[in-house]
Amino acid sequence: MNILTLAPGSVTLADLRRIYREGSALRLHRSAKPRIEASAKVIADAANGAVPVYGVNTGFGKLASIRIAPEDTATLQRNLILSHCAGVGEPIPAAITRLMMALKLLSLGRGASGVRWQLIELLEEMLARDVTPVVPAQGSVGASGDLAPLAHMTAVIIGEGEAMVKGQRLPGAKALAAVGLAPIPLGPKEGLAFINGTQFSTAFALAGLFDAWTAAQSALVISSLSTDAIMGSTAPLHPEIHELRGHAGQIEAAATMRALLEGSVIRESHREGDSRVQDPYCIRCQPQVTGAAMDVLRQAGRTLEIEANAATDNPLVLSSTGEIVSGGNFHAEPVGFAADMTALAISEIGAIAQRRIALMVDPVLSFDLPAFLTPKPGLNSGYMIAEVTSAALMSENKHLATPCVTDSTPTSANQEDHVSMAAHGARRLARMNENLQRILGIELLCAAQGVEFRSPLPTSPALQRVIAALRADVPRLVDDRYVAPELEAAARLVAQGTIAAAAQVALPEFGA
């Protein structure tokens, strides 16, 4: 297994994407150790002192006024984890759990949480030896931290809960033992440090962001194919149009589409004498829409990159003074906003893609393509209902794009009276991305079919490679056949980045 060594506070989106996509394990750079150990000593001293310190020698939440005796601090932390293992629903995907564990390591690695180094090492080894806690999907409101899901993760560290090891679901202690590890009892504040944080919400938001970016890249490729299928104009891609507006994503989207369509004989065939003055917005305004979505995704990415490097538990040990100070970094409002922004971008990429599908199957609007892209309309229905499916998915995503961060409810006897709802705001991105991948897959099928109807005129070399990649899995539709598996196959090609890569054209990246 590949192991990344990362310095807390300087991790990039590219690093995080590797952990998510490749399942890389993580070790903290050893330069983080002195600060981690120093903060742990501050907490240990406070646990034995006379001054009440939240979560160290007091109860939690509404029970913060109750003092805990030094001999009970270990029991306090164990009880905290067990009582907070109150999540429900299906286990989250292993890739998300591993990303969440990595994010927790990075947060603890800032040296403000007061945990012992041996806990850092155990979490590192769990990643390296593929011990994946079973974490239920539901139960977090995104403040004070993702308490329930992070408690399920932490339970395995103390030998409780459950984990997946070598394909088996085992009790926590047995899962650790299966790979030669042992549980570690928690000391003062350590349970609180593990469950007070935004790592569940941030992991889901990052996964949603990464998948949305792959979809956005694919959308630029597929929409270029759709443009040739309906013999659309490339005049709206003129660079000066986009430079006059100045938005980076729009400029990049137009440049990418120009490169994708370069050398298309279909385009050259109607450059002169075309009776159409302007194309519909779903063709003409592609850079303005997909480019704007890319800008939004990048903005969300900047927020999530900051959050991935943040110390988000409470209280925190301040290195400048050695004080232990209560704050609210566990509140996942920034993550909630980023998730809502990502949802809006996903929805809009799908909305304009669906209109291109509708355009291509409509013989009134498709510039002489046969109805529903079948050679024998009437006898065959072609992609008639595939277009309906895309409309259903588009509408579903519109509903799912409704902001979650604006919804709050008081919890914990009104102590936690405003929450972010970032957890399910981020979780819904997976479903939205699946819908978007299927919309783009349907557009891919329609666009390839449309371009093939323009034969003997060929599309550009880049887009010919895209069609070849599709046709390796899905043959051209001649007579009606059972198409559901083909829709899924096309969606997979989108999700895996195969279509984007097939064009062999430089595509926009996060860092641009």
Residue 403 preceded by cis peptide, ω within 30: no
Instruction: Give me the helix-helix angle, 147-157 and 117-128, nearest 10°.
Output: 90
Closest CA to 426 of 328, 509, 343, 327: 343
- Burial class of residue 14, CB neighbours in 10 A (0-12, 13-18, 19+): exposed
Task: Answer yes or no: 54 catalytic.
Answer: yes
Of the residues 20, 54, 383, 482, which is catalytic? 54
CB neighbourhood size of 106 (10 A): 27
Closest Cα partner for 127 from 306, 5, 308, 304? 5
- C-alpha span between 190 and 199 (Å, rounded): 16
**Within 10 A of 262 (CB to CB), how many other CB atoms are there?**
15
Mention every residue, 6+ apart, whose C-beta is less than 8 A from residue 58: 52, 64, 65, 66, 67, 68
* Four-point Cα dihedral 197, 58, 87, 193, nearest 10: 30
Which residue has 């290195």 as its token pair?
Answer: 319
In angstroms, the CA 229 to CA 449 distance is 8
Q: 94-108 vs 147-157: helix axis angle to the nearest 10?
A: 80
**Residues, the chain:** 512
Measured distance CA(56)–CA(114) in Å, rounded:
10
The residues that are catalytic are: 54
